[in-house]
Chains A and B, each alone.
Chain A
Amino acid sequence: MADDNSVYRDLFFEESDDNLQTLNDNILELEQEPDNIDLINSIFRVAHTLKGMSATMGYDVMTKLTHKMEDMLDLFKTGKLKVNSDHISLVFKCLDKLQELVDDLRDDKELSEDQITDLWNELDRVESSAEQGEAGGEPKPAEEKHDDGALTTKFEHFDDADIDVVGEARVEGMNAYTIAIRLDKETLLKGPRVFLINEHLEKDGEIIRTEPSADLLEDGDFDTDYRMIYITKDSLDEVKQNIESNTEIDSYLVEEFKAPEEDKEEAPKEETKEAPKQAEPKKEAKPAAKKPAKAPAHKVKNQAIRVDLNRLDRFLNLVSELVVYRNQLEDATNRESIGEINDSLEQVSRLTSELQDLVLKIRMQPVSVVFSRFPRMIRDLANQLHKEMHLEIIGEETELDKTVVSELSEPMIHLLRNSADHGIEDPETRKKLGKPEEGTITLSAYQEGNKVLITLSDDGKGLNPEIIKASAERKGIDTTGLTDREIQMLVFHPGFSTAKKITSISGRGVGLDAVQSKITELGGSIDVESKVDVGTTTVITLPLTLSIIQALMVKIGNESFAVPLDVVERVVMIHEKDIMKTSNREVCKFQEGLIPIIRTDELLQMPPSDSDKKYAIIVKSGKQYFGILVDQMIGQQEIVIKKIDPMLQKIKKYQGATILGNGSIALILDVNAVCNGR
C-alpha cells in the first residue's frame, strides 16, 4: 500500500503515539477548563498534524476518522458545540479508536471502513445537531506577553549614599554611568572574569556599587548579568571601548546615571531610554502600535531529537569502558607517578566524568511519560466502577533512566487499579465514614539522593490486617509472630488476594507479587503503609540510574566484592567477642538495638577466615539494619555494573559484576538478597 513510505513507518508510529498521548492529555485538561481557547487551538493543531501524517502515509481509514474528529474539534473551536462530558467522552472514543488503528497498522493489518462506521455515525449525529444553531462563545483576549530576558541597567535598589557620591562626582566634572554586563553563557570562572573586567574599568575610574554585591560576583555566584555604577572622566565611547577590550562578554549596556526619581517618572514609558548602542539585544517598545501580543501556546516544549535507543546504549557502553580505562590509568600513575601524564590525565578524568554524567542524563526521561496516561485511566475506572475519585500527580517532571521509566508502566497501572478498585470505597460508604464522597489518589515522584521515590496513596479503606491474616492462613501461609505491618506486606506474597470478588479491573491476586518482582528487578524496593479506613500508601524506591554506581569495595577472604554505597549506612570494626547469639541468629549491637549479623564467608560458601578483627558493613534493607561481615576494606569507587551471564543469574546473591582498575573482576553483592536470604 505505501511501500515508498515504509522507511518512515517507524517514525510515523512513534509520532502518532506521541500525538495521541498529547491529545489525550489536552482533552482531559479541556474537560476541566472548557473555555480555554488556547488549549482548543493546540488540540486542533495536534489533530491536524495527525491527519496530515496519516494522509501522507496513505492510511485512508485513519485519515478519514481524524478528519471527522477534526470537524468536531472545529465546532468546539468556533463555539458551535459545547464542551461537555458527553462530547469529551466521544472525543476520547475517537482517540481510542485511532490508537487501535495505529496498533493494527503497526501489526501490518489492513484497515477496513467497518472499523470506524459506528463512531463515524455518532460523530455525524453530534455534528449535524450542532450545525443547527447555538451561538458561539467569544474567544477570550490572550494575556499580554511578558518581556524578560533583556539586559537591563535597572538596579533593584539604590542607596541614597550612591546618589550623593554621583552628585559630588558630577560637580567635579566626572561622568557617572550605569553599566550592565552580560557574560557569555559558557563563561568558565565567572568570578575572575568579572574581576578582570572591573579591574580594567577601575584603571580609569571607580566602581561605587555593583549588583549583585562584589562578594557574590567574586565568587561567581550569579547567572550571567551584573550591573554597576561607574564614575570616571572617560566619555561614553571610551567606557565602551574599555568594556570591549574584554573577552567573553555577550552584551552590555552603558547609560548615563539617573537617580531613581527620574527613573520612576520615565518608567511608564518603558524602555524608551534606550542608549545608543550597537552590540546588545535591542528592545524598542512602540507604544503607538501596541497590539495585545498573543501568549505562546500553553505548553512550551523543550527542544528534543529522537535518538535510537540502541545507539544510546552503545554510547553508554563506550563511556562505561572509558571509565574503566580511566580508573586503570589513574591506578597506574598513582603507582608510577609520571608527572608528564598527570596534567592530561586530570583533564581526561574530568572530561570522562562529565561525559558519563551527560550520557546518563541523556538517558533520563521524566516519569510523566508514564504518568500522563493515568488521569485518563482513573477517569475511566471511576465511571466503570461507579465511584467518584480523582488522581493528583505531583512531581511528574522527576527523571529516571529510560529503561526504568518504560518498565514502570505495568506495575504502576496495577497499583493504581488496586487503589481504585479495592482502596476507594463507593460514595455511600465514604459518606457514612465521614469522608468526602470523592476519593483521592495521589501519585507523587521525587528524587532523593541517588534514588527516586514514587509514592502512591489513596484515602480508601486501607489494608485490614485481620482480613489479610485470615486469608493468608486459609492459603496456608504461616503468620505466627508477624506484626501488623508484616502482615500487610503479605499482599506481595506470591498467590495472594484479598479481593473476595474477582473483578476485571484488578485481576485475581496474581499481581502484587509480580509488581514486587518487577520493582526488584529494576533494583528498587517497595513498601506499604496502611491504616484501616484511612488509606494505603505504597512507596516505591528506585535507583536513579542503572549502570554506574558508587560502591564500597571490600575483601572477603581473598576475593574482592562491591557493595552498592547507597545502602551502606556506616562501617564499624567488630571483634568476634562482640557477636552475640540469640535463639536462632547471630546479632551485634548497633546504636541502641541489636541487629542481625550476616557471615558472608558462610553465605557465599567461602573458606572461613581466621582473623578475629572484621568489619561490619551496616546496611539497610527495607526498614531493618543488617551487619554484613567482611575481612578488609578497600575503599569507595565508582563501578560499572556488567550483567552476569544469564546462565549464572540464578545465583541470587549478586547484582552483577564489575571490572576493576587492575583488570580483575569483582562481584557486586545484592544486599537485599543477601540480607533476606532469598
Chain B
Amino acid sequence: MAKRILIVDDAVFMRMKLKDILEKNGYEVAGEAQNGQEAFDKYQAEKPDLVTMDITMPEVDGLDALKMIKQADPNAKVVMCSAMGQQGMVMDAIKSGAVDFIVKPFDTERVIQSLDKALS
C-alpha cells in the first residue's frame, strides 16, 4: 500500500513541486499544511506515515511543529526541508527527533531516497 505523506510548506509552489515528486514515485499525499499549527492538526487527523516539514513558516514554524508532533507521537517520522544556510535549525531539528533532512532546491532522487530510507 502506498505510504501516506503529509506535506508542510508555506509556499504553494513548493507544495506542488513536492506533491508532484511524491505522486510520481508511488507515494500518496495524505494532506497539505501551510503552517506549523495546521501541520499538527492535520497530523492528528490523518496520522500519515511521514511528514515533510519546511523549517521557515509563519506563525508556528517547522521546528515547533516538529516538537509538537513528536510529543504527541514519539514514533512520528518527520523529514525536515531546509534551505541553504540553516545549519543551526537543522541541527536543532535532528536533536528534536527529525529522521532526516533534505535541502532545497529539491532533487527528486534525493527526496525519494530520503523518504524510502526513513520509511524502511
Out of B10, B94, B113, name the residue touching A343 (CB < 8 Å): B10
- Give CA–CA (A339, B114) in the complex, Å: 29
Instruction: Choose one: B56, B90, B113; the contact of A189 (CB below 8 Å).
Output: B90
Of the listed stretches B11-19, B40-48, B69-77, chain A binds B11-19
A248 touches B110 (CB 8 A): yes
B94 & A195 in contact (Cβ 8 Å cutoff): yes
Whole-angstrom CA separation of A245 from B87 in the bound complex: 21
Would B58 and A247 count as touching, CB distance under 8 A?
Answer: no
Decide: A247 and B105 in contact? CB cutoff 8 A.
no
- Pair A189/B103 contact, Cβ less than 8 Å: yes
Task: Identify the closest chain B residue to A190 (Cβ).
Answer: B87
A196 B104 Cβ-Cβ under 8 A: no
Instruction: Tell me which of A188, A192, A218, A346 has the highest count of chain B C-beta atoms within 10 A of its own C-beta.
Output: A192
A350 at the interface (CB under 8 A from B): yes
Which residues does chain A contribute within 8 Å of B21, judged by CB atoms?
Answer: none
Q: Using a CB-CB cutoff of 8 Å, which residues 1-29 of chain B contact chain A? A: 10-14
**Which A residues between 422 and 437 are near B, CB-CB below 8 angstroms?**
none
B81-114 interface bits toward A, Cβ cutoff 8 Å, 1 = contact, 0 = none:
0111011001100110000110111000010011
Given A247-B100, A343-B56, A351-B105, A192 and B12 touching (CB < 8 A)? no
Q: How large is the interface on B (under 10, 10 to 19, 20 to 34, 35 or more residues)?
A: 20 to 34
CB-contact partner of A346 in B58, B83, B100, B110, under 8 A: B83
Quick check: is A384 within 8 A (CB to CB) of the other chain?
A: no
Task: Compute how far the CA of A189 lies from the CA of B98 in the bound complex, rounded to whole angstroms.
Answer: 15
A340 touches B94 (CB 8 A): no
Shortest Cβ gap from B113 to chain A (Å): 5
Number of A-B contacts (CB under 8 A): 55
Known interface pairs A344-B13, A346-B83. Does A245 touch B117 (Cβ–Cβ under 8 Å)?
Answer: yes
Judge whether A246 is part of the interface by a CB distance below 8 angstroms. yes
Task: Give A340 to B58 CA distance when docked, in angstroms.
Answer: 11
The interface centre, meaning the residue of A189, A246, A347 with most chain B CB atoms within 10 A of its CB, is: A189
Which residues does chain A contribute within 8 Å of B56, judged by CB atoms? 343
Given A247-B110, A339-B58, also A347-B90 (CB < 8 A): no
Partner of A350, one of B10, B84, B90, B101: B84
Interface flags, A174-200, vs B, CB<8A=1, else 0: 000000000000001101110110010
Contact of A340 among B12, B84, B90, B117 (CB under 8 A): B12
* CA distance in complex: A111, B11 (Å): 67
A192 and B83 CA atoms in complex are apart in Å by 12
| Bound-complex Cα distance A343 to B16 (A) | 14
B104 neighbours in A (Cβ, 8 Å): 347
Query: Is the beta-carbon distance between A247 and B91 smaller than 8 angstroms?
Result: no
The CA of A340 and the CA of B57, in the complex, are separated in Å by 11
Chain B contacts for A351, CB-based, 8 A: 105
Q: Is the CB of B11 within 8 A of A343?
A: yes
Known contacts being A339-B58, A344-B11, A344-B13, is A220 close to B87, with CB within 8 Å? Answer: yes
- Give A344-388 as 1s and 0s: 1 = Cβ < 8 Å from B's Cβ atoms: 101100110000000000000000000000000000000000000
Residues of A within 8 A of B12 (CB): 340
Quote the shortest CB–CB distance from B72 to chain A (angstroms): 22
Q: Which of B11, B14, B91, B114 contacts A192 (CB 8 A)?
A: B91
Known: A199-B94, A343-B14, A351-B105. A192 touches B117 (CB 8 A): no
A582 → chain B, closest Cβ, in Å? 52
Inter-chain CA distance A248–B95, complex, in Å, is: 19
A-side interface residues, number (CB < 8 Å): 22
Residues on the A chain within 8 Å of B113, using CB: 247-248
Chain A residue, CB-CB nearest to B97: A199
Distance of A455 Cα from B87 Cα, bound (Å):
43
Contact of B90 among A192, A248, A339, A346 (CB under 8 A): A192
Measured CB to CB, the nearest residue on chain B to A218 is: B91
Determine whether the beta carbon of B110 is less than 8 Å from that of A347: no
Look across to chain B and name the residue whose beta carbon is closest to the beta carbon of A248. Answer: B110
Chain B residue at smallest Cβ distance from A199: B94
Q: Which of B84, B95, B114 contacts A188 (CB 8 A)?
A: B84
Point out the residues of chain B lying under 8 angstroms from A245, CB to CB: 117, 120
The residues of A that contact B11 with a CB separation of less than 8 Å are 340, 343-344
**Which B residues lie within 8 Å of A246 (CB)?**
100, 117
- Chain B minimum-CB-distance residue to A191: B87
A195-B91 in contact (CB<8A): yes
CB distance from B108 to the nearest CB of A (A): 13
Kindly provide the distance from the CB of A391 to the nearest chain B CB, expressed in whole angstroms.
45
Query: Cβ of B94 and Cβ of A189 under 8 Å apart?
Result: no
B117 near A189 with CB under 8 A, answer: no
Contact with B along A309-349 (1 / 0, CB 8 A): 00000000000000000000000000000011001101100
Partner of B103, one of A188, A195, A218, A339: A188
Is the Cβ of A191 less than 8 Å from the Cβ of B13? no
Is the pair B117, A247 in contact by a Cβ cutoff of 8 Å? yes
CB contact under 8 A between A196 and B105, given known A343-B11, A343-B56, A346-B83: no
Q: Find chain B residues with CB under 8 A from A343 CB.
A: 10-11, 14, 56
A130 to B41, CA, bound (A): 91
In whole angstroms, what is the CA distance A248 to B112 when docked?
12
Given the complex of chains A and B, what is the CA–CA distance between A562 and B85 in angstroms? 31
| Complex-state Cα separation, A347 to B94, whole angstroms | 24
Residues of B contacting A199 in the complex (Cβ-Cβ under 8 angstroms): 94-95
Q: Chain A residue with minimal CB distance to B89?
A: A192
Q: How far is the CA of A246 from the CA of B101 in the complex (A)?
A: 10
Given A192-B94, A196-B94, A343-B14, are A247 and B87 also a contact pair (CB < 8 Å)? no
Q: How far is the CB of A347 from chain B (nearest CB, A)?
A: 6
Give Cα distance in the complex from A247 to B91, angstroms: 16
Contact of A191 with B91 in the complex, beta carbons under 8 Å = yes
Cβ–Cβ < 8 Å partners of A195 in chain B: 91, 94
Contacts of A340 in B (CB 8 A): 11-12
Provide the residues of chain A in CB contact with B120, threshold 8 Å.
245
- Rounded to whole angstroms, the CA-CA distance of A220 and B91 in the bound complex is 12
- Contacts of A245-304 to chain B: CB distance below 8 A: 245-248
Assess whether B84 is in contact with A192, with CB atoms less than 8 Å apart.
no
List the B side residues contacting A347 at CB < 8 Å.
83, 104-105
Residue of A191, A247, A343 contacting most chain B CB atoms (<10 Å)? A247
Question: For the complex, what is the distance from the CA of A230 to the CA of B36, rounded to whole Å?
Answer: 37
Task: Determine if A189 and B101 form an interchain contact, defined as CB atoms under 8 angstroms apart.
Answer: yes
Separation in Å of the A419 CB from the closest CB of chain B?
Answer: 49
Contact between chains at B87 and A196 (CB < 8 Å):
no
Query: Nearest chain B CB to A597's CB is how many angstroms away?
Result: 43
By the criterion CB–CB under 8 Å, are A189 and B100 in contact? no
Kindly provide the distance from the CB of A89 to the nearest chain B CB, expressed in whole angstroms: 57
Query: Can you identify 28 A-B contacts, CB atoms within 8 angstroms?
Result: A188-B103, A189-B84, A189-B86, A189-B87, A189-B90, A191-B87, A192-B82, A192-B87, A192-B90, A192-B91, A192-B94, A193-B101, A195-B94, A196-B101, A199-B94, A218-B91, A245-B117, A247-B100, A247-B110, A339-B10, A339-B58, A340-B11, A340-B12, A343-B11, A344-B11, A344-B13, A347-B83, A350-B84
**15 new A-B pairs (CB below 8 Å) besides A189-B86, A343-B56, A344-B13?**
A188-B103, A189-B84, A189-B103, A192-B87, A196-B94, A199-B94, A220-B87, A246-B100, A246-B117, A247-B114, A343-B11, A343-B14, A347-B105, A350-B84, A351-B105
Residues of chain A at the chain B interface (Cβ within 8 Å): 188-189, 191-193, 195-196, 199, 218, 220, 245-248, 339-340, 343-344, 346-347, 350-351
